[in-house]
């Protein structure tokens, strides 16, 4: 009797599989044990980690000393809530306070409240009975005139709607800028992430709940979300703004759903993704491309890395930030030099949200085949069934690609060959990587200018040299200047010190 999957693993793949299983199960057991430990024990290990961390040369060179005194010894020391920072970096005290509040925010409601906004949560039911949460940005006592246009923003892989509102400076959060310019701003969430973990029949602990890939996002999540927004707002069409996988989802959805074209006036694709080149680590890249289905053996067929948020909650934040940076470099060769160190602490706290293992397997199938295809459930190594490609050439909506010139995930030539030339434009942001277009210190000047220009002229093919902020954008920035001062990444040389943390009013534990 043959054992599914196991019988298809070659001899040279077994050592990696065994090592991965040992690491995966060890992490799982450690997380279980840690969760039942008294918080005093966790405090001890976290404080020990801080001491070791500051003695070790670290990639971001952020932690260089540790303040343990609770006494305010002078005006250069700024203490907020359960933190204490040395105010030597040049930013205002408000920047420190906002970073602390952002890290401590449990959800998008608390995050937008830091800037004076609120979100309305709307729950929709997809055609296959998943319940998704949409977030609509609102503002109490709003006197901003509405322009009658609706914008829908959708996140990337392993993310949620929170990624759009993590910037410490109000005017660098795209939803806030769009709202103040009069747009009706909505943000979506994929099935399986922290805001969409409900099904009419399936339990979240069941394998059936997590049996989805990019195909289900394209077949149900995206079109059902857009249909709801169009109906709720009574608008004719919306503008879709996607980040990373959020762009792949709309491309796929439009290619197989011609009626969806009637509801979208244009797509603004930030750090777009269709056929990524692969991983920076040649070993991992070769191994996972050759056997992407081995991910199931390592991580199961349910949720991918469920314990990440647990470790984020108890880990020393600069250490967590460093681990994210190191992982991004190992996997994608991203250096994230355009994101300030304090912005990383804020944004990385809201970077991860859950998804299915099957979604990641689907991406490895795409990278392996170098083809933007539907998920392929082959029955054996010698299966003769051919995967089905998404017919991206059938998309007939204006598409504007905004990508970083040093983004290792974007092969712009391949992407342009896949998308319809008649409707597609592309603009590179020099020196930007994947996440820089979302959280870079200069996104308002080097990314938002493209976005706002295309919102004004959706059908225009404007050379990058001629892209300029629109008049209404200039007026908005003039009347609403930056609310805090941030220093570009290159000049961050001073130290940050953090005292042990207690639960905030929101209930988060940062030790």
* Residue 87: exposure state from Cβ atoms within 10 A (0-12, 13-18, ≥19): middle
Are 470 and 478 in contact by the 8 Å Cβ rule? The answer is: no
Rounded Cα–Cα distance for residues 259 and 247 (Å): 18
Question: Could you tell me the maximum CA-CA distance found in the chain, to the nearest angstrom?
Answer: 75
Rounded Cα–Cα distance for residues 269 and 89 (Å): 34
Strand partners, 238: 150, 264
Report the half-sphere exposure of 493 (CA within 13 A, side-chain side). 2
Q: State the Cα angle at 334 between 329 and 335, rounded to 5°.
A: 90
| Catalytic residue list contains 407 | yes
Alpha carbon distance, N-terminus to C-terminus of the chain: 51
Catalytic residue among 427, 434, 473, 492: 434
Are 50 and 66 in contact by the 8 Å Cβ rule? The answer is: yes
Alpha helices in 197-316 (DSSP H): 214-216, 222-233, 245-256, 282-290, 294-299, 308-314
Alpha helices in 166-221 (DSSP H): 174-180, 214-216
**Torsion angles phi and psi, residue 264, rounded to 5:** -130, 130
**Torsion angles phi and psi, residue 199, rounded to 5:** -135, 150
Q: Does residue 5 come out as left (phi exceeding 0), alpha (psi in the -120 to 50 range) or beta?
A: left
Rounded Cα–Cα distance for residues 498 and 510 (Å): 11
Rounded Cα–Cα distance for residues 403 and 465 (Å): 15
What token pair was written down for 89? 């970096």
Are 108 and 119 in contact by the 8 Å Cβ rule? The answer is: yes
- The residue ranges of DSSP E strands in 306-423, in sequence order, are 399-404
User: What is the distance, to the nearest Å, from the Cα of residue 289 to the centroid of all Cα atoms in its chain?
Assistant: 23
Are 476 and 484 in contact by the 8 Å Cβ rule? The answer is: no
Q: State the Cα angle at 157 between 154 and 158, rounded to 5°.
A: 110
What's 16-28 look like in SS3? HHHHHHHHHHHHH
Q: Looking at residue 319, what DSSP letter applies?
A: H
Catalytic residue among 221, 325, 407, 411: 407
The closest alpha carbon to 189, from 219, 152, 150, belongs to 152
Catalytic residue among 196, 213, 225, 244: 244
Rounded Cα–Cα distance for residues 92 and 182 (Å): 29
Alpha helices in 105-244 (DSSP H): 108-113, 174-180, 214-216, 222-233
- Residues with catalytic function: 244, 407, 434
């Amino acid at each position: 009797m043959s054992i599914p999957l196991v019988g298809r693993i070659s001899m040279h793949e077994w050592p990696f599989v065994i090592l991965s299983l040992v690491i995966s199960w060890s992490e799982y057991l450690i997380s279980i044990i840690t969760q039942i430990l008294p918080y005093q024990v966790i405090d001890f290990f976290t404080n020990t980690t801080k001491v070791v961390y500051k003695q070790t040369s670290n990639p971001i060179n952020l932690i260089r000393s540790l303040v343990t005194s609770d006494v305010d010894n002078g005006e250069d020391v700024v203490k907020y809530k359960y933190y204490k920072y040395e105010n030597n970096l040049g930013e205002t005290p408000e920047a420190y306070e906002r970073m602390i509040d952002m890290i401590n925010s449990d959800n998008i409601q608390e995050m937008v409240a830091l800037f004076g906004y609120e979100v309305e949560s709307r729950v929709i039911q997809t055609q296959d009975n998943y319940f998704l949460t949409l977030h609509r940005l609102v503002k109490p006592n709003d006197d901003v005139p509405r322009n009658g246009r609706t914008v829908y923003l959708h996140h990337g892989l392993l993310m949620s709607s929170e990624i759009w509102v993590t910037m410490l400076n109000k005017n660098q959060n795209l939803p806030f800028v769009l709202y103040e310019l009069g747009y009706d701003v909505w943000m979506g969430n994929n099935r399986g992430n922290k805001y969409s973990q409900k099904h009419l029949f399936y339990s979240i602990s069941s394998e059936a709940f997590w049996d989805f890939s990019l195909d289900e996002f394209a077949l149900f999540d995206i079109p059902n979300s857009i249909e709801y927004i169009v109906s709720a707002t009574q608008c004719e069409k919306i503008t879709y703004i996607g980040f990373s996988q959020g762009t792949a989802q709309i491309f796929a959805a439009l290619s197989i759903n011609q009626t969806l074209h009637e509801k979208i006036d244009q797509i603004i694709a930030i750090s777009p993704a269709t056929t990524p080149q692969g991983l920076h680590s040649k070993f991992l890249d070769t191994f996972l491309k050759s056997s992407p289905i081995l991910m199931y053996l390592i991580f199961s067929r349910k949720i991918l890395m469920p314990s990440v948020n647990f470790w984020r909650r108890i880990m020393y934040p600069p250490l967590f930030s460093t681990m994210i940076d190191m992982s991004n470099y190992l996997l994608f060769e991203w250096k994230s030099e355009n994101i300030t160190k304090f912005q990383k602490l804020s944004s990385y706290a809201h970077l991860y949200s859950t998804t299915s293992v099957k979604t990641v397997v689907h991406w490895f199938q795409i990278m392996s085949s170098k083809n933007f295809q539907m998920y392929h459930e082959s029955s054996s190594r010698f299966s003769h069934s051919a995967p089905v490609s998404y017919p991206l050439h059938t998309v007939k909506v204006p598409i504007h690609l905004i990508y970083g010139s040093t983004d290792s995930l974007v092969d712009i030539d391949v992407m342009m060959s896949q998308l319809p030339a008649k409707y597609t434009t592309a603009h590179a942001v020099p020196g930007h990587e994947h996440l820089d277009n979302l959280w870079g210190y200069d996104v308002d000047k080097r990314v938002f200018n493209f976005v706002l220009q295309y919102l004004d002229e959706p059908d225009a093919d404007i050379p990058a040299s001629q892209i300029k902020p629109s008049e209404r954008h200039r007026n908005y920035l003039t009347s609403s200047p930056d609310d805090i001062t941030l220093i570009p990444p290159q000049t961050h040389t001073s130290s940050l010190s953090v005292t042990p943390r207690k639960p905030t009013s929101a209930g988060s534990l940062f030790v």
